[in-house]
Amino acid sequence: QKEVEQDPGPLSVPEGAIVSLNCTYSNSAFQYFMWYRQYSRKGPELLMYTYSSGNKEDGRFTAQVDKSSKYISLFIRDSQPSDSATYLCAMSGGDSSYKLIFGSGTRLLVRP
């Protein structure tokens, strides 16, 4: 079993929809949770960073962490075609404090 599981998609939604992207993990020592956006042939770009449990909002993006369920989510409101990209979750903590453990990424397509 992988430490971090993420549905690869692709997820196709119409413009303006609310998008929900999710990851589950198995290591209860993880404390830092991140979401990266990666456009085709580009390096990943940090979108959201959350420490421990709770919600964090930044514009149209909301990150949620539920440590009791070992489940994290990224919500995108009013999705735009420019949001079409691969979204990678990442986390760290415990023995892997120097390293990020990544999900395999979910490919999102927002249709105009």
Partner 1 sequence: SQTIHQWPATLVQPVGSPLSLECTVEGTSNPNLYWYRQAAGRGLQLLFYSVGIGQISSEVPQNLSASRPQDRQFILSSKKLLLSDSGFYLCASRTAGASDTQYFGPGTRLTVL
Is residue 93 exposed (0-12), middle (13-18) or buried (19+ Cβ within 10 Å)?
middle
Candidate list 1, 14, 43, 95; residue touching partner 1; CB under 8 A: 43
Element housing 38 (H / E): strand 32-38
Candidate list 14, 59, 98, 112; residue touching partner 1; CB under 8 A: 98
CA distance 89 to 34: 6
Stretch that binds partner 1, among 17-25, 59-67, 75-83, 90-98 (CB under 8 A): 90-98
Question: Hey, CA dihedral for 89, 95, 99, 101, is it positive or negative?
Answer: negative
Shortest Cβ distance from residue 69 to partner 1 (Å)?
A: 21
Binding letters toward partner 1, positions 46-65, x by CB under 8 A: x--x-x--------------
Residue 92 one-letter amino acid: S
Question: Residues in the site for partner 1, rule: CB under 8 A?
Answer: 8, 32, 34, 36, 41-46, 49, 51, 88, 90, 92-93, 97-100, 102-105
